[in-house]
Amino acid sequence: MIRDKYMRMFFIPLLGIMIPAVSGIITYHYYPWIEIIAANIYFIATSFCIWKGSNWIHSKLRSYFEVGSNPFPKIAAFCGISFLYGCSLGTISTMLWFYLSADDFSWNSLFKFNVVCGLAIIVFTLIYEILFLNKERELDTKIVRQLDRERSQAELEALRNELDPHFIFNSLNSLNHLILNNPPQAYLFNNKLAQVYKYFLINKHNELISISEELEFIDSYFFLLSIRHDDKLNLETQLNESNERSIMIPPLALQILIENAIKHNEFNHENPLHIKIAMNHSYLKVSNNVKPKPYLVNSTGIGLKNLSSRYRILCNKDIVIENTGKEFTVKLPLINQQESLKN
């Protein structure tokens, strides 16, 4: 529905006064001012009836045309039918005016009245159609955006669900190793695993969390890894604590990168795996020294693809992967809290 309240309030009286004056229907020196006012009110009422009738015609005819179809037949139909309606009502109103007033009937004045009235109808029909087309475009854009949002949400939910079996698969492998080799540590590992998995369950349906929350989880997660790998891992963090609450990342993003580094690299006590988490103004960088395993790694291939897809859906940015041969780095785009609220 077009909000044309102010347009109607301005143009209906204006047309009701101007069209009779331009066409010469009213001979103003024949009448006192009170009768001139009454005459203007009469033609303003005529203008109102033509305007409302034309709007009614538009609303009824619009249902016969599909949204997005060729607008020219629709505009031609609106203009033609509204023109006939307006000229017919204008002719009746003018004939009644000649009958009731002191003015003598004049075909020339009647013709001028209908021409000016018809032109006004065509102009405002075009204006209304432009407004309707703009409204339809806004509605289409809104629908497309809503569909894109729903699609993104569906994709994001599917990607989140992929993390569940991925995380269980790797955790159970670690626990299985500890059960066979060190049962007491397996018990401790199991308790920490419960805490880690609790974090996963709580944040599974969250799109974003603060870096500080993710780091608290990583502390517990890395404790499990240290037990599992006999302290052959080092973790270094270089972050600005004042920004940790305002910068957001997808849940489990750091866990995926740490897990990926462990999965694809060989390390021992003499040459431990060093993982570094640092942040600059644009990215959260997770890097590790590279020493590829000499055998083919059994991997599901979900991790980095999942993370890339999540960033593209959430903020229309992608992760950056750099591999110099000595150091492997993944840069995660920073999302501030204001951006997350907009999304």
Question: Residues 194-251: pLDDT tens digits?
Answer: 888 788 788 877 888 888 888 888 988 888 788 777 778 999 988 876 666 678 888 8
**Would you state the pLDDT for residue 341?**
46
Partnered with residue 288 across adjacent β-strands are 275, 328
**Would you state the pLDDT for residue 152?**
60
CB 307 within 8 A of CB 331: no
Residue, of 10 and 4, whose pLDDT is higher? 10
The dihedral built from the CA positions of residue 158, 161, 162 and 163, taken in this order, carries a sign that is positive
> Domain boundaries in the chain?
5-143, 182-342
Average pLDDT over residues 274-282: 90
Residue 208 CB contacts under 8 Å (≥ 6 apart), including other chains: 248, 249, 250, 251, 314, 335, 340
**Would you state the pLDDT for residue 244?**
62
C-alpha span between 236 and 216 (Å, rounded): 14
Among 3-7, 36-40, 273-277, the range scoring the smallest mean pLDDT is 3-7
Query: Which of 269, 261, 230 shows the shortest CA–CA distance to 323?
Result: 261
**Would you state the pLDDT for residue 73?**
82
Among 63-72, 119-128, 153-162, 174-183, the range scoring the smallest mean pLDDT is 153-162
Which DSSP state fits 123?
A: H
Residue 54 CB contacts under 8 Å (≥ 6 apart), including other chains: 82, 85, 86, 121, 124, 125
Residue, of 340 and 322, whose pLDDT is higher? 322
The yes-or-no verdict on residue 97 having pLDDT over 60 is yes
CATH class, domain 182-342, is: alpha beta
**Would you state the pLDDT for residue 242?**
60
* 143: confidence class by pLDDT, cuts 50, 70, 90: confident
CB 211 within 8 A of CB 337: no
